[in-house]
Amino acid sequence: MRLVRQFTRAPERRGRVGERFRPEIARAVLAWFRHARRPLPWRASRDPYRIWVAEVLLQQTRVEQAAPYFERFVRRFPDVASLARAPTQQVLKAWEGAGYYARARRLRQAAGILVREHGGALPRTVDALERLPGVGAYTARAIGALAFDLPVVPLDANVLRVAARWAREERDVGRRAVQEELRARLERSIPSGASGAFAEGLMELGELVCRPRRPRCDACPVAFGCRAYRELAAPGRLPRSTRRPARPHVRAAVVALRHGSRWLVQRRPAGGLLGGLWEFPGGKLERGERPVDAARRELREETGVAVGRLAPVGVVRHGYSHFTVELHVFEGRARAMSSPARGRRWATLAEISRLPLPRATGKILGALRARRPRTHGRPPGRTSPGSR
Ligand code: SF4
């Protein structure tokens, strides 16, 4: 009878303190997850270190993209001690391409703390995990549930969506109070001794079945207990979405300044966006400014070098999570190799490729390499159409 009342309760009474989802729902999630579970590389063991690295990676990288980055990183740094010992530049290089490089720096910083204060092991409480750099409430709960089977549920977008649909939550799930209510309700629904599998099953269900726009309710193992499915014509309209603002678009000009076989590169400041990574000099276009003029101005302002002719290489486009960039790339010849200031160096293309680079700089490097055979022995700029 209690279940019947739950399905007919007025929306404002839902989510009251102490409520939980039906035990059959949680059991159905576990049963489904046992056979639907994808063989992702971080699921190969319950090693807390690997789970930690994976969860940090997955904070801003999609599951299907994360696997090769994860494998490269844990191959290079197989445990806390090896990560704690590594120079920052090596850690950034191993993280290259995954984006949000502050995550890699904080991983290394946290590894140092683990070695100094926790005997090289991850702590086994959510509070202690949350005190580590780069570990927020979500990641601490994910490590707690997956590595140590603590009775907690990490509430990512997938899990939040699933819970909101089960509960037919009509309120804005962007509100912290609503999230806390749903999380507490899920945590009260954890089957005994199965926190990790329940958390992973919820994530997997949200990723594979209870998708944001078109949930696959016909294939859902918990449709029998889902209020959105049972009561709404279109369950996919929940949870109420708050529209994401469009990503800003940045137009910038970059100079690949060359002397012989060496190119001038510089390291970005440690604290900011893409901090500690290496790139060619350049910067944003000013309003109404031509890319070639911006390239010349930025080079002069950043390095003090005044360059003559700039040959267009092409336009490199890249989408980061929070913005997109359009880089107008030019090649210039330096008359001499000025002695570089701190954080700058002259390097061959092979040497540059071994430095930690933003994805867009990697693309520029590819464009420069592709040009080399065609431009060999000719004045630069004659062979490749560029953009201004
Ligand atoms: S029945 Fe549909 S809306 Fe409900 S949890 Fe399953 S997939 Fe999601």
User: What tens digit of pLDDT does each residue of 102-149 get?
Assistant: 899 999 999 999 999 999 999 999 999 999 999 988 999 999 999 999
CATH assignment of 2-237? 1.10.340.30
Sequence-separated contacts (24+) of 10-13 with Cβ below 8 Å: 11/168, 11/170, 11/171
Q: Which pLDDT value is given to residue 248? A: 83
Say which residue the tokens 């603590």 belong to: 150
Q: Which pLDDT value is given to residue 266? A: 94
* Cα torsion through 130, 125, 151, 44, rounded to 10: 80
Confidence label for 217 from pLDDT (cuts 50, 70 and 90): very high
Among the atoms of ligand 1, which is closest to the Cα of residue 238? Answer: 3
* Confidence check: pLDDT of 15 > 70: no
Whole-angstrom CA distances from 154 to 19, 61, 63, 200 are 18, 17, 16, 9
| Domain parsing of the chain, residue ranges | 2-237, 249-375
CATH assignment of 249-375? 3.90.79.10
Q: How far is the CA of 36 from the centre of ligand 1 (A)?
A: 16
Q: Active-site residue 55, yes or no?
A: yes
> Who contacts 146 (Cβ-Cβ below 8 Å, separation ≥6)?
46, 51, 55, 196, 199, 200
Among the atoms of ligand 1, which is closest to the Cα of residue 236? Answer: 3
pTM of the model: 0.72
Q: Residue 202: CB within 6 Å of ligand 1?
A: no
12, 19, 55, 187: which one is catalytic?
A: 55
Best residue among 210, 213, 216, 237 to mutate for probing ligand 1's pocket (most ligand atoms within 8 Å of CB) is 210
Q: Which pLDDT value is given to residue 18? A: 66
Identify which of 300, 314, 308, 326 has the alpha carbon closest to the alpha carbon of residue 375: 314
pLDDT (tens digit, 9 = 90+) per residue, 140-193?
Answer: 999 999 999 999 999 999 999 999 999 999 999 988 899 999 999 999 999 999
Mean pLDDT along residues 341-362 = 91
